[in-house]
């Protein structure tokens, strides 16, 4: 894996060799983004179309992609049923937002210095494994992941995930044993984000989401942000819980591109943003450094905030370029088959500092692709098998709960106690779900390859399905704005019962319930 990452880093360095500093004449997108063709901003429509085409293949679970050059949106694509007005989970890009809130708190005097000792904010806690090294941990160490505490999601996943799986608290985080002095060693630990959230809440006297809305989101025109709360206490999930619309992710990136300045107003001090976007430490991935809660590309001014399951913000100041991707790709193999190739190809896009000749054919190709992704054509519906006659409108009681994605949670789920299927011979059918706790819901499921959108657990969910055999039904179940897609495979038994498997296509922890892995099985009998 390290060899692969080294290769794509070298490719990225080569692709960013031409420095371009263009202010452009686009207004700041406080309300709406200005739009342009790629060629007018020195880019190639066909290259951008090819990038979108490749990474919108079904296996990648692509949701959206936006390219911004000189302050103009030159491409903006959404894969149905995802739409531009739906906030998307950012996963670990939430960390980068949190870092900027620390910068704002520093600007406003809530935090005196990044070198303040962390333990000074927790006078009522006597940490376990205390020594002089732990006493010297600073806010800066939390930001750049160099506390010296023995916690690293990459080299020792259990040291990190065990702390957040069933609720996290400051005493537990501060009690982690030390294995290095502060500032000595990069170790990617979610507890650092939690401690920053606790400090921000304490010093500002505000909820972190309320602070973000007042001092960051509102000033740059971000609306509709959602920040998932911790189950264990009333705080935003600091390491993964934020949802923003793709255009608003771009607004945040544009703020960083302009070193914290927005339409003549300094939202975050330029020095803090500059420091945040500077790699302070090499990481366990060759060629990638770490600034303040964001990845940096060694030897360049490029930063790449990254979130699990395919969330990327590429900010290339020298080329006045932003590329954003959201999705739900299988995270176990994402670094090898998705993150590296996507970042490499995005940074290899042709970028020059003057307009290219108009390219009606290329812009037409890009426009057609974007329209096709947004509104795919229905496919012919297969003849329904005879099995439909025996199962239609039967209510099945599950012997054990079936777990499905829960829209308002990160790494959480809802268990289903009963279900039924209703077919009317058309291009869709209905799956009725009865949660073990909560209200029954009817989910429309397209049989023509097109997702149908329904309400479930307080959010919009989309589903499509197909018969893959006489007795076998496959359903794709997607929570809009979430990174995950559940694939439900159901086999109907001759005796009237059924069994099935729910497989989460985003992988790693999945969204099937903590500790349940990537799939769960279920069985049912007719009531």
One-character DSSP codes across 439-498 = --EEEEEESSS--EEEEETTEEEEEEEEE-SSSEEEEEEEETTSS-EEEEEEEE-TTS-E
Q: Rounded to an integer, what distance in angstroms lies between the CA atom of residue 66 and that of residue 70?
A: 13
Q: Rounded to an integer, what distance in angstroms lies between the CA atom of residue 106 and that of residue 28?
A: 25
Q: Rounded to an integer, what distance in angstroms lies between the CA atom of residue 295 and that of residue 283?
A: 9
pLDDT at 510 over 60: no
For residue 81, whether the previous peptide bond is cis, meaning omega lies within 30 degrees of 0, is: yes
Three-point CA angle 175, 181, 186, nearest 5°? 90
Q: Rounded to an integer, what distance in angstroms lies between the CA atom of residue 49 and that of residue 54?
A: 9
**At a CB cut-off of 8 Å and minimum separation 6, what does 479 contact?**
405, 406, 407, 456, 459, 460, 461, 511
pLDDT at 509 over 90: no
Mean pLDDT of 62-75: 97
For residue 31, what pLDDT is reported? 87
Domains of the chain: 2-86+245-374 (3.40.710.10), 91-221 (3.40.710.10), 387-526 (2.40.128.20)
Q: Rounded to an integer, what distance in angstroms lies between the CA atom of residue 241 and that of residue 173?
A: 19
The tokens of 313 are what?
């913000």
Q: In terms of pLDDT, which residue wins out, 144 or 402?
A: 144
pLDDT at 72 over 90: yes
Lowest mean pLDDT among 185-194, 258-267, 435-444: 435-444
Mean pLDDT of 370-383: 96
For the segment 226-268, what is each residue's pLDDT rounded down to a tens digit? 999 887 788 999 899 899 999 999 999 999 999 999 999 999 9
Beta pairing, strands 288-290 & 295-297 = antiparallel
Instruction: Assign 15 a pLDDT band (cuts: 50, 70, 90).
Output: very low
For residue 484, what pLDDT is reported? 77
Q: Rounded to an integer, what distance in angstroms lies between the CA atom of residue 411 and that of residue 315?
A: 28
For residue 518, what pLDDT is reported? 63
DSSP state letter for 154:
T
Q: Which of 373, 363, 368 is nearest to 46 (CA)?
A: 363
Three-point CA angle 217, 219, 221, nearest 5°? 65
Longest dimension (CA), the chain: 73
94 exposed, middle or buried (CB, 10 Å; 0-12, 13-18, 19+)? buried
pLDDT at 165 over 80: no
* 111: three-class secondary structure by DSSP: coil
CB contact at 8 A, 293 and 326: no
For residue 270, what pLDDT is reported? 98
Beta pairing, strands 72-78 & 34-35 = parallel
pLDDT at 490 over 60: yes
Q: Which of 120, 176, 122, 123 is nearest to 145 (CA)?
A: 176
Q: In terms of pLDDT, which residue wins out, 414 or 146?
A: 146
Beta pairing, strands 261-262 & 519-526 = unpaired
Report the chain's mean pLDDT, rounded to a whole number. 89
Mean pLDDT of 11-18: 38
pLDDT at 331 over 70: yes
pLDDT at 1 over 50: no
Mean pLDDT of 55-83: 96
The tokens of 8 are what?
């794509």
Instruction: Assign 329 a pLDDT band (cuts: 50, 70, 90).
Output: confident
For residue 164, what pLDDT is reported? 64
pLDDT at 9 over 50: no
pLDDT at 64 over 50: yes
For residue 428, what pLDDT is reported? 97
Q: Could you give the percent of the chain with pLDDT greater than 90?
A: 73
Q: Rounded to an integer, what distance in angstroms lies between the CA atom of residue 118 and that of residue 148?
A: 13
User: What does the H/E/C string look like for 63-97?
Assistant: EEEEEEECCEEEEEEECCCCCCCCCEECCCHHHHH
- Determine what percent of the chain falls in helix, strand and coil, rounding each to the nearest 5: 30, 25, 45
The tokens of 425 are what?
């011979």
pLDDT at 515 over 60: no
Instruction: Assign 4 a pLDDT band (cuts: 50, 70, 90).
Output: very low
For residue 513, what pLDDT is reported? 34
Q: Rounded to an integer, what distance in angstroms lies between the CA atom of residue 98 and that of residue 294?
A: 10
Instruction: Assign 506 a pLDDT band (cuts: 50, 70, 90).
Output: confident
């Amino acid at each position: 894996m390290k060899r692969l990452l080294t290769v794509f880093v070298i490719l990225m360095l080569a692709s960013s060799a031409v420095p371009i500093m263009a202010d452009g004449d686009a207004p700041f997108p406080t309300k709406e983004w200005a739009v342009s063709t790629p060629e007018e901003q020195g880019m190639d429509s066909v290259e951008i179309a090819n990038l979108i085409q490749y990474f919108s293949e079904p296996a990648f679970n692509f949701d959206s992609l936006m390219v911004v050059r000189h302050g103009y949106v030159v491409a903006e694509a959404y894969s149905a049923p995802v739409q531009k007005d739906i906030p998307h989970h950012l996963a670990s890009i939430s960390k980068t937002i949190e870092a900027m809130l620390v910068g704002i708190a520093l600007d406003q005097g809530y935090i005196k210095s990044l070198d303040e000792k962390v333990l000074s904010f927790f006078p009522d806690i006597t940490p376990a494994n205390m020594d002089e090294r732990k006493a010297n941990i600073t806010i800066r160490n939390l930001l750049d992941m160099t506390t010296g505490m023995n916690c690293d999601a990459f080299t020792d996943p259990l040291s990190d995930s065990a702390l957040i799986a069933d609720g996290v608290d400051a005493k537990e985080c501060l009690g982690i044993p030390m294995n290095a002095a502060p500032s000595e060693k990069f170790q990617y630990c979610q507890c650092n984000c939690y401690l920053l959230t606790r400090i921000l809440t304490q010093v500002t006297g505000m909820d972190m989401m309320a602070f973000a809305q007042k001092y960051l989101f509102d000033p740059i025109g971000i609306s509709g942000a959602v920040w998932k709360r911790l189950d264990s206490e009333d705080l935003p999930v600091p390491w993964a819980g934020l949802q923003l619309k793709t255009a608003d992710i771009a607004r945040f990136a544009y703020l960083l591109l302009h070193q914290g300045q927005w339409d003549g107003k300094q939202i975050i001090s330029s020095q803090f943003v500059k420091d945040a976007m500077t790699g302070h430490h090499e990481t366990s991935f060759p060629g990638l450094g770490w600034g303040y809660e964001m990845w940096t590309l060694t030897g360049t001014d490029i930063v790449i905030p990254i979130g699990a399951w395919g969330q990327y913000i590429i900010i290339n100041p020298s080329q006045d370029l932003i590329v954003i991707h959201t999705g739900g790709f299988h995270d176990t193999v994402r670094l090898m088959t998705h993150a590296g190739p996507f970042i490499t190809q995005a940074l290899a896009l042709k970028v020059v500092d003057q307009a290219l000749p108009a390219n009606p054919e290329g812009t037409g190709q890009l426009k057609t692709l974007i329209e096709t992704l947004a509104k795919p054509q229905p496919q012919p519906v297969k003849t329904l098998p005879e099995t439909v006659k025996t199962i239609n409108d039967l209510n099945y009681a599950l012997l054990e709960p079936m777990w499905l994605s829960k829209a308002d949670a990160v790494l959480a789920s809802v268990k289903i106690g009963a279900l039924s299927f209703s077919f009317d011979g058309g291009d869709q059918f209905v799956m009725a779900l009865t949660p073990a706790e909560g209200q029954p819901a009817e989910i429309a499921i397209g049989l023509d390859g097109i997702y149908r959108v329904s309400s479930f657990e307080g959010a919009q969910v989309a589903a499509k399905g197909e018969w893959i055999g006489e007795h076998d039904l496959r359903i794709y179940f997607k929570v809009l704005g979430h990174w995950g897609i559940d694939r439900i495979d159901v086999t109907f038994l001759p005796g009237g019962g059924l069994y099935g498997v729910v497989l989460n296509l985003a992988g790693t922890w999945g969204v099937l319930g903590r500790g349940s892995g990537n799939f769960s099985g279920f069985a049912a009998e007719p009531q």
